[in-house]
């Protein structure tokens, strides 16, 4: 089978694929590369990984075509579908003030990691990158990078305070699985 014009080749390391194109993790996992969370071998090429799992050259090319097609077809979602509750906005505001980060943005990222494949990361950032999308929720300005957008479409970010748990909770309809500790998803 002929390979399509590619961003990912057989010589691309699994670590680079996961870092630069986290949206491809599901395809990797569906095709036998389960080590994309906390046990990743970042220096192993995609070809080495697939051959280590018994894939033929033809099967490797088919998966590479799927991955490259997914990367090329990756579209941004409707950002209005990302909901930050009033409690979450208020709590992020309190933390910003406490940490003297009043002039900073709140950055929300989905990153490779955790035992289920992905994890959420919140941080305060004073720099807005060219590819960042800004969402305004009250006095809070939220930055979301282009790789995170489709992972959180339809998500709800809330802040809970109860006897059982206290902290930010993300209800994400795109999460197909979660780990036992609840801090990562796939």
Asked if 69 and 150 sit in the same domain, the reply is no
Asked if 94 and 54 sit in the same domain, the reply is no
Asked if 45 and 86 sit in the same domain, the reply is no
Asked if 59 and 86 sit in the same domain, the reply is no
4 pLDDT above the threshold of 50 = no
Neighbours of 136 (CB within 10 A): 8
Highest mean pLDDT among 12-26, 122-136, 147-161, 163-177: 122-136
Tokens 């097609």 belong to: 69
pLDDT number for residue 1: 40
d(CA 114, CA 2): 35
Does residue 99 belong to any structural domain of this protein? yes
137 pLDDT above the threshold of 50 = yes
Q: Which long-range contacts (CB under 8 A, 24 or more apart) does 172-178 make?
A: 174/150, 176/26, 177/116, 178/116
Does residue 4 belong to any structural domain of this protein? no
Q: Provide the percentage of residues in the chain whose pLDDT is more than 70.
A: 81
Question: How many angstroms from the chain centroid is the CA of residue 68?
Answer: 18
Asked if 116 and 175 sit in the same domain, the reply is yes
pLDDT number for residue 127: 94
Q: What is the number of domains present in the chain?
A: 2
Asked whether 135 and 82 are in contact (CB, 8 A), the reply is: yes
Regarding predicted confidence, which is higher, 58 or 73?
58
Structure confidence by residue, pLDDT tens digits, 99-117: 999 999 999 998 887 776 7
Structure confidence by residue, pLDDT tens digits, 49-62: 888 888 999 999 99
Number of helices (H) and strands (E) in the chain: give both, helices first.
Answer: 5, 8
pLDDT number for residue 39: 55
Range of the domain at 123: 79-185
pLDDT number for residue 36: 56
Asked if 174 and 85 sit in the same domain, the reply is yes
Q: Which of 16-25, 140-149, 174-183 bottoms out in mean pLDDT, i.e. has the lowest?
A: 174-183
Taking CA atoms, 147 is separated from 19, 75, 152, in Å, by: 10, 10, 10
d(CA 156, CA 133): 17
pLDDT number for residue 73: 67
Look up the CATH number of the domain holding residue 129.
2.60.300.12
What's the pTM? 0.57
pLDDT number for residue 175: 74
Q: Where does residue 18 rank: exposed (0-12), middle (13-18), buried (19+ CB within 10 A)? A: buried
pLDDT number for residue 123: 95
- DSSP annotation of 180: T
């Amino acid at each position: 089978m002929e390979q399509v014009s590619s961003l990912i080749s057989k010589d691309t390391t699994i670590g680079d694929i996961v870092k630069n194109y986290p949206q491809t993790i599901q395809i990797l996992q569906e095709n036998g590369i389960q080590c994309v969370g906390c046990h990743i071998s970042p220096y192993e090429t995609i070809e080495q990984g697939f051959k280590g799992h018994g894939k033929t050259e033809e099967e490797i090319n088919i998966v590479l075509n799927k991955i490259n097609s997914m990367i090329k077809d990756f579209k941004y979602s409707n950002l209005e579908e990302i909901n930050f509750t009033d409690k979450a906005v208020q709590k992020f505001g309190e933390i910003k003030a406490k940490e003297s980060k009043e002039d900073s943005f709140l950055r929300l990222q989905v990153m490779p990691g955790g035992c289920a494949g992905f994890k959420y990361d919140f941080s305060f950032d004073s720099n807005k990158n060219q590819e960042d999308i800004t969402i305004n929720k009250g006095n809070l300005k939220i930055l979301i990078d282009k790789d995170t957008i489709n992972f959180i479409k339809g998500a709800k970010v809330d802040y809970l305070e109860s006897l059982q748990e206290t902290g930010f909770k993300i209800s994400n309809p795109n999460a197909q699985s979660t780990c036992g500790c609840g801090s990562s998803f796939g």
